[in-house]
Amino acid sequence: MTLTVTLILIAIALTVAVFAGWRGARPWDPSKGVRMAPWRFIMVMAGAVLFILLVHLGTLLGVPQRTY
């Protein structure tokens, strides 16, 4: 994956994580019915994808990997 694609995916994953975190933190409103989207789970998954993409970005920028 190129650097441009990686940066675009990082921006998308960050946006999804922030939006899902905002939606998941809102109080439940029984008059609107049941929540159909698991916003907290979506936030955690977007955060995991974001972490993987940040590691990939580091390898693209030449950050040395530590070997033991």
65 within some domain: no
Q: What is the mean pLDDT of the chain?
A: 91
Greater confidence (5 vs 28) lies with 5
Q: What is the mean pLDDT of the segment spanning 51-60?
A: 95
Confidence of residue 66 (pLDDT cuts 50, 70, 90): confident
- pTM attached to this predicted model: 0.83
pLDDT at 16 > cutoff 90? yes
Please give the tally of structural domains in the chain. Answer: 1
40 within some domain: yes
pLDDT at 33 > cutoff 80? no
Which residue segment(s) compose the domain that 43 sits in? 3-27+35-60
50 within some domain: yes
66 within some domain: no
Given a contact cutoff of 8 angstroms between Cβ atoms, the answer to whether 14 and 50 are in contact is yes
21 within some domain: yes
How many other CB atoms are there within 10 angstroms of residue 46's CB atom? 20
48 within some domain: yes
